[in-house]
Amino acid sequence: MAFDSLTEKLQNVFKNLRSKGRLTEEDVKAALKEVKMALLEADVNFKVVKNFVKTVQERAVGQDVLNSLTPGQMVVKLVNEELVTLMGSDTTEIALKPSSEISVILMCGLQGAGKTTTTAKIAGKLKKKGRRPLLAACDIYRPAAIEQLQKNGEKQGVEVFTMGTNHKPVDIAKAAIEHASKNNLNVVILDTAGRLHIDEDMMAELQEIKENVEIDDTILVVDAMTGQDAVNVATTFNEKIGVDGVILTKLDGDTRGGAALSIRAVTGKPILYVGMGEKLSDLEQFYPDRMASRILGMGDVLTLIEKAEAEIDQDKAKEMERKFRKAEFDFNDFLDQMAQMKKMGGIQSILSMLPGMGLPTDLEIDDNIFKGIEAIIYSMTPEERGNPAIINPSRKRRIAKGAGVNIAEVNKLMKQYEQSKKMMKQMSGMMGGKGKKKGKF
Ligand code: GDP
């Protein structure tokens, strides 16, 4: 997960600070020097790091932090606040016209950055918000790109407008808007061609579209894995064609995360969303405060709650709650629950959002644990799954054999089941469609 190593380093610095009780100016200086190293190692832009450390240092001295009761905490608070400022403070939405008019979004970026995937992800988000999007295939160089957009559009239930590869992108864009107007669609998202590197032809093509079509939002898609290159790409695109916002993809990967911390400060343009995986639902709104919280290892509970709300089938959740209350929870429900967890991005992704879970980078909890459990449950008869109480020692032996595991594994699962049942019963009072929980924590 991005930022793991940065989080670990920052947590060590802060642990040292907190353990000191009283702090001298020298202590703060030494700690900030380590923060600086950690940020540089995370591939944050050098100038950004320099300014960041200077600001925190000045505020720490200026605000009488050193004489406060908990100076270590105060420094962490300052670092947190400055990280939030660095990433833009507020969340920026894609600016759209009222639903009665057609808004046009121009998607641009280098090849492989994740533009086509992100275009479909955005369409899905807008659809959920009640908009009626149309995707327009303006990449006339790679027929495969058109096909990919069509496939993704189909998955999202969003129409894709294409004219093949024999028309100019600007003409396709105009025709798409015309088509939207005739078909009562109100957001046109133009998926344009990328190149492997910044290239004059690509820029000229984008400029031509911008000069001839009224664009409401120009969104640049950049790959977080490319670190400072992503920042340079953003700077160039912004200078050449003007960018309104950036979407940073592949933040789920093993990136050091420097791009997320540098883009806003270097280009002045906000990050709108972050790509957190290859699935079309893996796009998260960018909240600078939540991201800072994640970076500092303080968790991101709000995003976790929203993910659960988006992914979990409400009817199923209600039914599950009823079962919990009555303690009817069985192994079929266990399977269902595992499926839900997978949908939410798997254990690692869920853990990374929980406070205090600043996971050591070498700890790999992979979703193979699910596979072992699934194998055991699938070896049970439907009757056993629905009524685990009947699973006696001889049945356990048969199940273990069927799943190809030791009987101890089956016993472990039975024990987990009993514990989950107990815990779910206790938790059931706290669950159930209470609607969105918003606000800071
Ligand atoms: P394009 O050339 O810019 O249109 O890029 P694509 O949309 O074809 O994406 C390139 C590759 O990156 C594909 O394999 C995508 O599945 C993958 N990808 C896109 N966004 C993400 C993301 O947020 N996380 C991960 N892990 N992969 C992504």
Helices (H), 243-352: 258-267, 288-295, 301-311, 314-326, 331-343, 346-352
All structural domains of the chain with their residue ranges: 4-86, 103-298, 306-430
Cβ(211) – ligand 1 distance below 6 Å: no
Mean pLDDT by 10 residues, the chain (441 residues): 84 84 84 93 93 92 71 84 92 94 97 96 96 96 92 97 94 97 97 87 94 97 93 95 96 85 94 95 93 80 65 68 68 78 68 53 57 86 90 94 91 83 60 37 27
CA of 214 relative to ligand 1 center, distance in Å: 27
251 is in an annotated binding site: yes
Q: Is-contact 404 361, C-beta < 8 A? A: no
Q: Which atom of ligand 1 is nearest to the CA of 110?
A: 3
Most ligand 1 atoms within 8 A of CB, residue of 278, 282, 284, 349 to mutate: 278
Q: Is-contact 92 273, C-beta < 8 A? A: no
- pLDDT averaged over every residue in the chain: 85
Tens of pLDDT along 56-77? Answer: 998 888 766 767 767 787 888 8
Q: 4-86 maps to which CATH number?
A: 1.20.120.140
110 is in an annotated binding site: yes
115 is in an annotated binding site: yes
The neighbouring-strand residues paired with 285 are 273
pTM of this prediction?
0.73
Cβ(345) – ligand 1 distance below 6 Å: no
The closest residue, in CA terms, to atom 26 on ligand 1 is 277
CA of 52 relative to ligand 1 center, distance in Å: 31
CA of 116 relative to ligand 1 center, distance in Å: 7
What are the C-alpha distances in Å from 141 to residues 73, 98, 235?
A: 55, 33, 25
- The torsion angles phi and psi of 256, rounded to 5 degrees, stand at -80, -15
Cβ(112) – ligand 1 distance below 6 Å: yes
Which strand ranges, in their side-by-side order, compose the sheet holding 271-275?
Answer: 159-161, 133-138, 187-192, 103-108, 217-223, 245-249, 271-275, 283-285
Confirm or reject CATH 3.40.50.300 for domain 103-298, answering yes or no.
Answer: yes
CA of 389 relative to ligand 1 center, distance in Å: 47
Most ligand 1 atoms within 8 A of CB, residue of 1, 107, 110, 117 to mutate: 117
Query: What ipTM was assigned to the predicted interfaces of this complex?
Result: 0.98
Confirm or reject CATH 1.10.260.30 for domain 306-430, answering yes or no.
Answer: yes
